[in-house]
Structure 1
Amino acid sequence: MGARLRVFLTREQDKTLLNLRTEDVPQKVKDRAEVIRLSAHGWYVEKIAVHLNWTPQTVREILHKWKRLGMEGLWELPGRGGKARWKEEDIVFLEECLKKEPRTYNSPQLAKKLESDRLIKLSPDRLRRVLKKRGSIGSGL
């Protein structure tokens, strides 16, 4: 069995991590801060894992990341997840078409128009969700 994994915090670090609970940060960041504080207060990895209903490996990863990166290790790295296949200009183009042209479009027709005019391939369902999120719905989608 290896050495016990534990972090040590200064009072300032502990106070900063404690204050994250009340700030407007993602829940994941708050949970990671709690893991680090519990470890600093003497909790074993397994006990922290049971307390948060996580695997011990997840707790270990957070503690190792803290040792390596400090506060930066609490946040997600940018660039995670799928990238948008469309740009803002593409959606603005469709919104202009919806405003200017007298006809109404359904989402498959809009997806075809986007593909033929702008060479952007989006599924009708995805396009409908993007437009709905922007508040562009209202032209027969």
Structure 2
Amino acid sequence: MWHQRDLTLKPHPRGFHLITREVVSALPELAGIRVGLLHVFIQHTSASLTVSENASPDVRRDFERYFNHAVPDGWADFEHTLEGDDDMAAHIKASVLGAGLSLPVRDGRLALGTWQGVYLCEHRNSGGARRLVLTLMGE
């Protein structure tokens, strides 16, 4: 069984945001899957996806601080600068973290660990709405 759905997320401020509920809510078919896989793909080059701690907001703030330190906006050596100081840094952060996740499904639910959640990683100051392609397969 295969299902595919597009999900448009409302604009989020720059940072790391839990979106597990939005992803699950967009796929009512998930409840009927005994064993399977959900692939989540973001159709953007300046935002990304990851799985991490779902309970403490400190973790999300630390992610943002780390990536801003590692890849600062407006670095003087960037050549791609026409779209703003945050644009090239956002592309690099998105490439490091990635555009897709493969998540196991078991007994009608995502088989995430107790403290795991799906993050939208918004790397732009004004990124706008973000589009995801959700592909669910299983039996």
| Bin for the TM-score computed over the shorter chain | under 0.3
Q: Give the TM-score normalised by structure 2.
A: 0.20
Which one has a bigger Cα radius of gyration? 1
Q: Give the TM-score normalised by structure 1.
A: 0.20
Structure with a larger share of its residues in helix: 1
